[in-house]
Structure 1
Amino acid sequence: MNNEKGFTLIEMLIVLMIISTLLLITIPHISTNNSVVQKKGCEAFIKLVETQAHTYEIENGDFPSSITILMDEGYLESETCPNGDTLTLEPNGLVKLASEE
């Protein structure tokens, strides 16, 4: 009956130490990439708003005067980027961050 197989306490502690080390290495790396992801998400959202504004123009014959119109008509669900920046719609069809005005 001495032939039981299983992990010893030392083996379990070594595995936990390895997992903890990996977590300590990866968590800071993930948090630094978060700002890059939010910036790319905002760039993609700006392109989406511009596309939806042109779609509105094709369907209604005139260009929307604000992003609020696009939201009211169901073309968009939000006027803010994933990072919280507010967008504005220019008369020429370009979208800008409200902070760039």
Structure 2
Amino acid sequence: MNNEKGFTLIEMLVVLMIISVLLLIAVPNMMKNNDVAASKGCEATVKLLQSQVHAYNLENPKEPLTKLNTLVEKGFVDSIACADGNELTLEDVTNQTSSE
């Protein structure tokens, strides 16, 4: 029985402590990256909607676009919401266009 090989309780506790410290460092960084990704996703959605508004205006010069839901109804886009679920308005899209 003296020749049995294995880890002692102290060795296992040291390994668990190291893993815990690494998780404490890694988890907050991943949460910050999720927020950045969500904001970049919303910016990308706004740019997509801006291009689809221009496409709509080219195809329908006599029908001014009054609400973004028209883009969904006519098949220009599938959704007018950001990745976080916030619905965009026409003012959100046109204000971003005029500020560039």
Q: TM-score range by the shorter chain?
A: 0.5 to 0.7
Cα distance in structure 1, aligned partners of 2:9 and 2:43: 51
- Uncovered stretches (5+) of structure 1, i.e. residues with no partner: none
> TM-score with structure 2 length normalisation?
0.67
Alignment of 1:69-80 (within 5 A): 69-80=70-81
Higher helix share: 2
Cα distance in structure 2, aligned partners of 1:96 and 1:35: 23
Higher strand share: 1
Segments of 4+ moved more than 6 angstroms: none
Structure 1 residues 73 and 8 mapped into 2: Cα distance closer, same or farther (>3 Å)?
farther
Report sequence identity in percent: 49
Cα distance in structure 2, aligned partners of 1:6 and 1:56: 70
Residue 96 of structure 1 and its aligned partner are, at CA, apart by 4.4
Aligned to 1:67: 68
> TM-score with structure 1 length normalisation?
0.67
RCO higher in structure (CA 8 A, sep ≥6): 2
What is the aligned-residue RMSD (CA, Å)?
2.7
